[in-house]
Amino acid sequence: MRLKVDLLPKSGYGDTVILVDVLRATTTASIILEGAEQLFITGSLGVARGFADSYNLLLAGEREGLPPEGFNYGASPADLRGLKFERDVVLTTENSPKAIEAVSEAKHVLLGSFYNARAVVDKALELATDEIAIVCAGMYGDETLEDIVCAGFFARRIQKMRGEVELKDAAKLAISLLRAYPDVQEALMGSTAGGMLEKLGLLEDVAVSSLISQSTCVPRLENILQWDGKSIFRFGAA
């Protein structure tokens, strides 16, 4: 079994991908799918609004960390935690849809975070044939501390569970960075995204996103829809 970590999305993924966007999309996705049957993710505000209106779906999302006008919910895991959604949800964020697009050709695409860490690793090991790629979504094209530390957390767990694993250098780097942050909340607080959320008064999102293995829900890419020339990624719970 090969295990690699990409600090930013690349291309050419063939087997199993765990996509990581800790603050906040992949944390939020697992929370939403605890209460909804389907989650649709798009990068376009217009597509999110049009698709939700056409199919009577709930709208959740963010721009610069805050809910867009007219949305039912933001992208706050603290606010969404524990809700029971009476309808399926369309989620729009700024970074994750681009990352999902980059990895979408993989056989299996899972969304992972600290919040569903144990479950997503178990599912990846169940699905993978030859390779697991842990892919960090990044932020505005830059690497992010919190995603790399989370990737290290996954890589270390996979190594412990599988034993003989071929680790690429970036996976070793992520594991080494994890050792520097035995309290993962410190990594989230020290990140650029964590600082932005602090300025917005959303520190509870950082706290919730640092909780480990609170959910057994693993969002899995089911298919890709097209709406007004844009992609909508449909996820269900694996």
Domain limits at 229?
2-237
User: Per-residue confidence of the chain (238 residues) as pLDDT tens digits?
Assistant: 999 999 999 999 999 999 999 999 999 999 999 999 999 999 999 999 999 999 999 999 999 999 999 999 999 999 999 898 989 999 999 999 999 999 999 999 999 999 999 999 999 999 999 999 999 999 999 999 999 999 999 999 999 998 788 898 999 999 999 999 999 999 999 999 999 999 999 999 999 999 999 999 999 999 999 999 999 999 999 9
Q: How many domains does the chain have?
A: 1
φ, ψ (nearest 5 deg) of residue 87: -140, 165
**Which residues on neighbouring strands pair with residue 134, listed in sequence order?**
5, 18
Paired sense of beta strands 108-112 and 16-20, if any = parallel
Tokens encoding 99: 């990352």
Q: H helices of 105-191, where?
A: 117-127, 145-162, 169-179, 184-190
Q: How high is the pLDDT of residue 82?
A: 84
**CATH number of the domain encompassing residue 10:** 3.90.1560.10
